[in-house]
């Protein structure tokens, strides 16, 4: 059987503890995307200055919401969300019974960022890891996540092009700077996957020597045409 379990991911469950609580409304006022609409969706929790603290995929869990996030930062994300909870009767905790799964290819469970990323779903943990295959596949499509994004402005992480932001849903933490960048069309730098041999140390976010690749934070004018994925290249056909 083909391995599908992404062992670097964890699942956080948000649950209302009484009938008067609305978990979607709680998260809606915090994150970059519209969680009141169709799910799953990719979103981020930003600093007040609009820089990335955490990114995750939000799933419909019936009356609950499920966050598919980096395992190494999952506890920190729980703590951050709990700060915003105040006295609301909402439980925010890791759900070890669920795991994130991935498989290349087309289907009905496409990754909400980009269909070419393949199929993604939540289920019980698997016995084998698909991490190596997933990393190579994700970087081959120039999609960044997790530590590659931290402390950068959300739109510099290609969030608009990868369906990670709503410009119509209303306020959220960091919304002012994010909206200003969008309306003024001032995204001067972007994340891009480059050959490791051509990565700039000052601009490098993460290196993957085993794949010969790196993630750089480059000025838009310095991004070569051959590094530009079709989904980001404005000259590519729709």
CA neighbor of 146 nearest in space, from 63, 44, 78, 3: 44
The pTM (predicted TM-score) of the whole model is: 0.94
Residue 86, pLDDT score: 87
Confidence of residue 238 (pLDDT cuts 50, 70, 90): very low
Minimum mean pLDDT among 91-100, 114-123, 154-163, 185-194: which range?
Answer: 185-194
Mean pLDDT, range 210-234, rounded to an integer: 93
Mean pLDDT, range 209-224, rounded to an integer: 97
Residue 19, pLDDT score: 86
Domain extent listing, the chain: 9-227
Q: Is the pLDDT of residue 207 over 90?
A: yes
Tokens representing 16? 């209302």
Percent of the chain with pLDDT over 90: 87
The C-alpha atoms of residue 11 and residue 22 are separated, in whole angstroms, by 19
Residue 235, pLDDT score: 54
pLDDT tens track for 138-170: 999 999 999 999 999 999 999 999 999 999 998
* Structural element, H or E, at residue 78: helix 74-85
Number of alpha carbons in the 13 Å side-chain half-sphere of residue 88: 21
Query: What's the chain's average pLDDT?
Result: 94
pLDDT tens track for 57-113: 999 999 999 999 999 999 999 999 999 998 899 999 999 999 999 999 998 999 999
By CB neighbour count within 10 A (0-12 exposed, 13-18 middle, 19+ buried), where does 198 fall? exposed
Mean pLDDT, range 4-18, rounded to an integer: 97
Rounded to 10 degrees, the C-alpha dihedral 221/226/232/233 comes to: 80
For the chain, how big is the Rg over CA atoms in Å? 18
Give the CATH number of domain 9-227.
3.30.1360.120
Confidence of residue 237 (pLDDT cuts 50, 70, 90): very low
């Amino acid at each position: 059987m083909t391995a599908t379990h992404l062992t670097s991911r964890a699942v956080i469950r948000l649950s209302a503890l009484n009938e008067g609580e609305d978990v979607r409304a709680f998260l809606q006022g915090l994150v970059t995307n519209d969680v009141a609409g169709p799910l799953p969706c990719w979103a981020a929790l930003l600093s007040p200055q609009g820089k990335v603290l955490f990114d995750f995929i939000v799933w419909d869990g019936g009356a609950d919401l499920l966050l598919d996030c980096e395992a190494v930062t999952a506890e920190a994300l729980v703590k951050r969300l709990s700060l915003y909870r105040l006295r609301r009767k909402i439980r925010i905790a890791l759900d070890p019974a669920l795991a994130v799964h991935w498989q290349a290819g087309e289907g009905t469970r496409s990754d909400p960022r980009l269909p070419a990323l393949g199929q993604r779903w939540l289920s019980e943990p698997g016995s084998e890891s698909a991490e190596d295959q997933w990393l190579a596949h994700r970087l081959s499509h120039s999609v960044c996540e997790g530590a590659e994004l931290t402390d950068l402005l959300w739109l510099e992480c290609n969030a608009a092009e990868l369906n990670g932001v709503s410009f119509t849903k209303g306020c959220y933490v960091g919304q002012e700077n994010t909206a200003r960048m969008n309306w003024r069309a001032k995204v001067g730098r972007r994340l891009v996957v480059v050959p490791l041999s051509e990565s700039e140390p000052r601009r490098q976010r993460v290196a993957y020597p085993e794949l010969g690749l790196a993630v750089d934070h480059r000025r838009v004018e310095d991004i070569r045409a051959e590094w530009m994925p079709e989904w980001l290249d404005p000259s590519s056909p729709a």
